[in-house]
Amino acid sequence: MSFHTKRSGRADEVLELFDIAGLKVKMNCKDGLLYERSRAYLSDGQDEKEDFSLELDDDRLTRLNDNVPSLTRDECYYVYMGEGFYRRLLDFDGLLLHSSCIEKDGEAYLFSARSGTGKSTHTHLWMQTFGDVRMINDDKPAVRKIGDRFYACGTPFSGKNDESSNVCVPIRAIVFLQRAKENRIERLDPAAAIPLFLSQTIRPSTEEYMTKALSLLDGILKSVPVFMLYCNISEQAVHTAYDGINKYLNEVKENEN
């Protein structure tokens, strides 16, 4: 994993308030990668009360960095502040899904897979094919229940590429990708989807948080259609996904009527 960091020349100890995934989050971004990527999320109301704060002191950062010497200290701070955000998100009906997430026609499509499968390539093909597609987060969108619906939300924690938008968009579908020579899509039942989800999110470290994560996952699987897309890297794969998802959802809507 590699990042590109610009230096901003700001003071190193500044607590700021951010609007992230519909929450007020206070954090010290320091002077580097997190600072640069967080500007689009800076709250207009700096005096408002935060939902939670994120902290990572220098001693703990040093210990964490010693375990991942391939990262610079700044990169390590960015990665572990992101991990802290997603762990706290469980307290607010939200979780991380390692995926590339796009918006089309006012709804979100999340494409998840193991690293190297081609999820970013696939979503960028959507952007090239349709034109009216916006990237929400190319690596680590937040999935959060707001009211009675699940939303995909941009965050400043977007992996090695800084591709995210500060939006919360209702989810239309979640799709897991698997490389194949021919393109086809199928609906996944919850039992098949559970291990795929668990492999692409942060594993809670306590029983309490695992219970919260499983409860959220149960709600997602009851509310959001989940698919498996077997695909190659082509525009045809995009149409297979889009047409298959919307054919299924239109049939469900017709049956309900």
| 179-220 pLDDT per residue, tens | 999 999 999 999 999 999 999 998 888 899 899 999 999 999
In contact, 44 and 33? CB cutoff 8 Å: no
pLDDT above 90 as % of the chain: 83
Kindly report the backbone phi and psi dihedral angles of residue 62, in degrees, each rounded to the nearest multiple of 5, phi listed first: -60, -45
d(CA 115, CA 99): 9
Check residue 13 and give its pLDDT: 67
The average pLDDT across 64-90 equals 94
In contact, 166 and 37? CB cutoff 8 Å: no
| Beta strand pairing call for 99-104 and 133-137 | antiparallel
The average pLDDT across 7-13 equals 50
Average pLDDT, the chain: 91
Check residue 110 and give its pLDDT: 98
pLDDT digits (tens, 9 = 90+) for 147-178: 999 999 999 998 777 899 999 999 999 999 99
Residue pointed to by tokens 């699987």 = 221
| Beta strand pairing call for 168-179 and 133-137 | unpaired
Q: Is 70 exceeded by the pLDDT of residue 111?
A: yes
Of 44-48, 116-120, 150-154, the least confident: 116-120
Q: Is 70 exceeded by the pLDDT of residue 1?
A: no
The average pLDDT across 97-107 equals 97
In contact, 185 and 228? CB cutoff 8 Å: yes
As given in the structure block, the two tokens for residue 201 are 């999110």
In contact, 75 and 88? CB cutoff 8 Å: no
In the chain the domains, ranked by start, together with CATH numbers, are: 15-92 (no CATH), 95-256 (3.90.228.20)
Burial of 56 (0-12, 13-18, 19+ CB in 10 A): middle
- Using pLDDT thresholds of 50, 70 and 90, give the confidence band for residue 71: very high
Start-to-end CA distance of the chain, whole Å, equals 49
- Residue spans of alpha helices (H) in the chain: 33-38, 58-67, 73-89, 119-130, 190-198, 207-223, 235-256
d(CA 158, CA 162): 6
SS3 assignment, position 180:
coil
